Structure 1
Amino acid sequence: MSSADPVPEVHPAPAGPTIASSGGSLLSDEGSSPVLDAAATKQTLHRYLQKHRAALLAKLDGLAERQARWPVTPTGTNVLGLVKHVAGVQAGYFGEVFGRPLPDAPAWLDSDAGDDMYATLDETLDDVVAFHHRSAAHADATIEALDLDARGVVPWWPEGHRDVTLHRILVHMAYETARHAGHADIVREMLDGLAGDGDGNLADKTADEWVAWREMLVEIAERSGLRGLTA
């Protein structure tokens, strides 16, 4: 990308109850007790997982089918593919790992060819979102049913590392979901300028101020590249 590339006008994501009510900006007193409580720990991990799920799904709001599928990186990263991927990973970690496979799982879940990273022509945006909701509901049922020390096996991990607990998988999936929600945040901003999650963490700037901010960063980058080239 060069400074001459077209840049979408920044418009912050509106604040919404879907994301806020799932965590993040609504902090609680979880973890304030000096005594480690397994139930409270599970609640905290689950809440953060739900927050990142909501943030990821929100990046599809307002996108047309073409935009949702549009690859913005050389490796093909697209918002709808990220949602599909996370739904599939979630189904595996909270399903097969604990002997609770997702009923009527789609065939692409067993594919190693990257079929989870994009929606086919036979799949609509609504299809992918519906599957994500189904995967999330199944995951939540597993989380509610098991204790943090419940044992599971991840068959696709290397031997010697496959034995896990629900605690570890909750941490793993919260991390996995947050990572891809961040990817989606950047992809969406590159598509149409929508930025942030509406949770108050994006700087409060006008459209003109964002243009000036980026121009300042471009100037710094250009000038830093000249450092050492002049006498």
Structure 2
Amino acid sequence: MSSVDPGIFDAPLRDQFETFIDEHRAGLTGCLDGLTEEEARRSLVSSKTTLLGLVKHAAFVEKVWFDEGISCRSREEIGIPSTPDESFELTEEDTIASVRQAHLEACAASRAATAPLGLDDLILGNRRGPLPLRWVYLHVLRELAQHCGHAEILREQILDTRR
């Protein structure tokens, strides 16, 4: 991941949250850079986790927290899986380009959905009940950080097989 702009240290808290979230979003999609379709789909662990699946799951996360959470629409209405586990499942149509594009679009929609909100505004559509945007930002940042760590390890294993 790239280093954070030193100017962000003095920026408003919301800008800090959004900068870190965007860096982690980019880091996660960046895990697919230079990989073949087979490598991106390669399963190296017993779970459904693959690099392509992680990015697909990250698009699901965006839609859960920032579409379902803010719009209060159901997952069925949004067109996403009902469970996180299902969000890792890849179809024949899933490619690096299509999954990356879906993730970029989900992130853009998340930014648009949160733009009019303040950090203390409540997100009403989450299954946990009303949550302030600041808590949602922290949760999403934590989840993205975990998945970036998973992706770095999987990518390292894949690249090691090239030697």
| TM-score, length basis structure 1 | 0.63
Give how far 1:110 is off. Answer: 3.2
Match of 1:184, SS state, is helix
1:168 to 110, 125, 135: 135
CA offset digits 1:105-139 (Å, max 9, x no partner):
763x1333733113211222211111101100011
The whole-number CA distance in structure 1 between the counterparts of 2:126 and 2:114 is: 19
Does the CA contact (< 8 Å) of 1:88 and 1:116 recur in 2?
yes
**Unmatched 5+ stretches in structure 1:** 1-18, 33-39, 195-206, 208-231
Q: Which amino acid aligns with 1:171?
A: L
Aligned to 1:95: 67
Q: How does 1:1-231 map to 2 (within 5 A)?
A: 20=2, 24-31=3-10, 40-99=12-71, 107=79, 109-112=80-83, 114-157=85-128, 162-193=129-160
* Structure number with higher helix proportion: 2
Aligned length: 161
Post-superposition Cα deviations, 1:67-112, rounded to whole Å, max 9, x if no partner, equal 101111111321000001011111110112112759x9763x1333
Gaps of 5+ in 2: none
Q: Amino acid of the residue matched to residue 103 of structure 2?
A: H
SS for the counterpart of 1:30 is helix
Greater C-alpha radius of gyration: 1
The runs of at least 4 aligned residues of structure 1 exceeding 4 Å deviation read none
RMSD: 2.5
Preserved contact between residue 81 and residue 87 of structure 2 (Cα < 8 Å): no
Q: In terms of mean alpha carbon deviation, does 82-91 or 111-120 score higher?
A: 111-120
Letter in 1 for 2:5: L
